[in-house]
Structure 1
Amino acid sequence: MKLRSISVLTVGLMLAGTTFAQHVYTLDECIEAALQNNVRMKNAENDLKVAAHERKNAFTNYFPTLSASGGGFMSDKPVLDLELAPGMGLSMLKNGIVGGVSAAMPVFTGGQIVNGNKLAKENVEKYRLLRHQSEYEVELTVENYFWQAVVAQEKLRTIAALEKQLAQLTNDVTASVEAGVTTRNDLLQVQLRSNETLSARLSAENACRLARRLLAQYIGAGTDSIGIDFVLADSLPRNPGFLYTDPEEALYRTDEYNLMNTDLRAKRIEHRISVGKNLPTVAVGGGYGYNNLLDKDCTSWIGFVTVSVPLSGWWGGAHDIKKHKLEIQSAENTLADGSDLLKLRMESTWDDLTDAYRNVEIAQVSISQSAENLRLNTDYYAAGTCSMSDLLEAQTLYRQSRDRYVEAYAKYQIKKREYLQATGR
């Protein structure tokens, strides 16, 4: 018994020394760190920046297109060598330089430039919503890891309280055995229960370290175990009734609905672009030219208008337009069906939340009942009216009730976040 007490003390001192070296995080701090450091968030931010650059690139199509060209040549003989009369000849183009600059401004493109910019804008909105969805997923994952660590931490606290009771009980029973008041069997039962509690402590410590390391890795704090700034109170959390919101009103706040709506708008814009590809395009422009082909500088200014009519484009273009019409219908169907599913999910997560809260209420009552049962059996054993087995069973029931309470409390907190996210909050 003395050796076991030293071992428990050593483990406790090691854990205490580790705690001092740890950075302690609250749930909000964990979420904030994850949103800054998690790879998923970094990639989502990069995707949004890519979409923003694509939108800026689409805007440049409103500007004139500028081009410059130039060239020169040199020949060992004139390119043009004419004999005008006997003894008379004309040689030209032995060497020369040509160059020019031109600019063209689109006047009408069938709406392709305007709709292309609208499509790029919808793409930015799409990736903004996807980034927000990533935030939700990261927050929910952090919440799961955080409460796993809390559950393990609270189980250790319960075990520590039982170890204290068992240590006192061991001393009392040892004294009773030495005085001949009780049998050695009671002492053996206490010692066996102490061994079981020590084994449970080791398992709980391993689970606690693993949960903290998983949380640390996810929030970008490295792979070392971190501290959790949370102590579970026995008071009942606030009833979740104040969180309820009407699914019909909440629907338009959800990222999933807005993503489907964004996709529908994009399909309609793509349809207009497909129509514009089969319409005439008009552009106006001008340019400046220079050449020195006849050993003389020559410059000129030109202006032009171009009209392009895709005559044969309608052969395939008509099918492309019909394809986009069908895609619009599919997007509309997806939006209608997805909206119903989202409202059903809100109701389902609300039911899960209220069930989780009722389980917390039940678990809290069980703690009160098991604590009273333990107190009575402790008194009964001291009075000699109950057996050691009954007392140890009462301790087990007390530990189980506290474990169920912390598990129910953690599940309630996770379900609360799931409901808030399902309703766009």
Structure 2
Amino acid sequence: MKHTIQIFFFMLSSCIVSLGSVYAQRTYTLDECLQQALANNVRMKNAENNKNIAAQDKKNAFTKYFPSVSATGGGFIASNGLFNFEMSPEMQMSLMKNGVIGGVSASMPIFTGGQIVNGNKLAEVGEEVSRLQYNMSENEVRLTTENYFWQIITLKEKLQTLAAVETQLAQLTKDVEASVEAGITTRNDLLQIRLRQNETQSSRIQVENALALSRNLLAQYMGLGVDSVDVAFPMNNQLPENPSSLFEVPENALVRTSEYHLLQQNLKASRLQKDIAVGKNLPTVALGGGYFYENLMDKDHTFWMGFATVSIPLTAWWGGSHDIKKQKLQVRNAENQLEDQSQMLMIRMQQTWNDLNDAYKQVGIALSSIEQATENLRLQTDYYGAGTCTMSEWLDAQTLFQQSRDKYVEAFAQYEVKKREYLQATGR
């Protein structure tokens, strides 16, 4: 019975470990990685919180349109009355030795120089800015996720290339060992192959470590903690689609970018802040009223009271005029920044377009290099078997073969990242 229980727990623990391993090694496509990152990445969560903060600021600004209501109350006790009257040496009167007063009042702003209206408009600008910043955060998360994704694909393809190289070296080692035993070739060729095998093993260790780190980084960025994920993408040694269909005229694409709209909102906010500065130096008018209670003469007394207030800043214009001039200069700065940064955004579009085309051409060159390096390795293998080339020449051909395959996957990954950068730069 004891032995049976041990077997049961052993099988159960094995199943749990296996399930954990399967979960940890789930394979994601690029779209699935993007969905996970956009849903779980901390940058997106903070961007969503910032949108909610801006929404609360807007609601807070709207409350300024309503009357402000306050309640006050107080009381006092004195050792002597506050008012003492001596009617005669024998007759004295003391009043207000203790008392209570309280009330509720409301005040409604009628005119505030546009401060409330402009304050609400400024809150709307803040809400739009938070939305645009959310879009920019989304773009950054997409780009970073793609970088991690293609980094993993590149490293996995390099491992496959190393596996192919190791197979080639293993087969050649057998042939050279047989030739050495037969006295056809020297041990120097065998030593060269084994040195190359050692180099390949060392490269494999480095690539595997980099791959493990990249998987962990992607998992963490996707909101999966310190787990490890795997990704998949078929690399068929093909040329990607020509990017010509993606081209956008920079002037037309500019109005679609979040960066451009953010510059516009910055200018709008500067103008509103200038209007608010002007409003602070204008008269303010308010109407109000309240219900009050007092007991100062040992008698309850309640009454209603209405009031109107007009506040005219006189000496405030001294410093306020300088604040207005300052805000006008801020508006000019925002106008200059809008024009300058708009030009820079269009230059960035052109630069990312050039980078995308360069990356596409690099993929084509890398494909040609693979064909040439593969054929060169085949020829050198035949020549070595025929004794018409040296081991060093064959190893050089094998190195070129490995480098050409690595260069292709790197160029392909670079092209995909550049495509994402160009689409984001043109507001897509």
TM-score by length of structure 2 reads: 0.88
Residues 21 and 336 (structure 1 numbering): CA distance in 2 closer, same or farther, change over 3 Å?
closer
For 1:109 and 1:128, the matched residues in 2 are separated by 30
Match of 2:116 among 98, 105, 113: 113
Aligned 1:262-277 pairs, distance under 5 A: 262-277=265-280
| Offset, 1:83 | 4.3
Structure 1 counterpart of 2:77: 74
| 2:369 aligned partner, one-letter code | S
1:257 lines up with 2:249 in the alignment: no
Structure 1 counterpart of 2:378: 375
Structure 2 counterpart of 1:315: 318
Structure 2 counterpart of 1:132: 135
1:280 lines up with 2:280 in the alignment: no
Structure 1 counterpart of 2:425: 422
Residues 96 and 20 (structure 1 numbering): CA distance in 2 closer, same or farther, change over 3 Å?
closer
Structure 1 counterpart of 2:149: 146
For 1:239 and 1:26, the matched residues in 2 are separated by 22
For 1:388 and 1:74, the matched residues in 2 are separated by 110
Q: Deviations over 1:314-364 (max 9, x none)?
A: 222222222211111111111111111111110011001000000001101
Aligned 1:296-315 pairs, distance under 5 A: 296-315=299-318
| 1:120 aligned partner, one-letter code | A
For 2:77 and 2:70, the matched residues in 1 are separated by 24
Structure 2 counterpart of 1:3: none
Q: Secondary structure at the match of 2:237?
A: coil
| Offset, 1:21 | 4.6
Match of 2:355 among 340, 349, 352: 352
| Offset, 1:18 | 7.3
Q: Deviations over 1:116-156 (max 9, x none)?
A: 01011111222222232222223222222222222221111
For 1:20 and 1:285, the matched residues in 2 are separated by 67
Structure 2 counterpart of 1:388: 391
| 1:136 aligned partner, one-letter code | N
Q: Deviations over 1:371-421 (max 9, x none)?
A: 222223333334444443333322211111001001111111111111111
- How many residues align structurally? 409
Stretch moving more, 56-65 or 127-136: 127-136
| 1:403 aligned partner, one-letter code | D
Stretch moving more, 118-127 or 132-141: 132-141
| 1:30 aligned partner, one-letter code | C
Q: Secondary structure at the match of 2:69?
A: strand
Q: Secondary structure at the match of 2:113?
A: coil
Residues 199 and 87 (structure 1 numbering): CA distance in 2 closer, same or farther, change over 3 Å?
closer
| 1:194 aligned partner, one-letter code | Q
| Offset, 1:284 | 0.7
| Offset, 1:301 | 0.9
| 1:232 aligned partner, one-letter code | M
Q: Secondary structure at the match of 2:384?
A: helix
For 2:188 and 2:86, the matched residues in 1 are separated by 135
Contact 1:19 1:227 in 2 (8 A): no
Match of 2:105 among 93, 102, 107: 102
Q: Secondary structure at the match of 1:294?
A: coil
| 1:140 aligned partner, one-letter code | L
Q: Deviations over 1:211-263 (max 9, x none)?
A: 22333333333335432223422111111111111100111111221111111
Unaligned runs of 5+ in 1: 1-16
TM-score by length of structure 1 reads: 0.89
Aligned 1:118-197 pairs, distance under 5 A: 118-197=121-200
Q: CA RMSD in A?
A: 2.3
Unaligned runs of 5+ in 2: 1-19
| Offset, 1:35 | 3.2
For 1:280 and 1:92, the matched residues in 2 are separated by 41
Q: Deviations over 1:18-76 (max 9, x none)?
A: 78853433333333333344343333333333322222211111110111111223344
| Offset, 1:278 | 1.4
Residues 148 and 265 (structure 1 numbering): CA distance in 2 closer, same or farther, change over 3 Å?
same
- Percent identity, aligned pairs only, is 61
Contact 2:24 2:228 in 1 (8 A): no
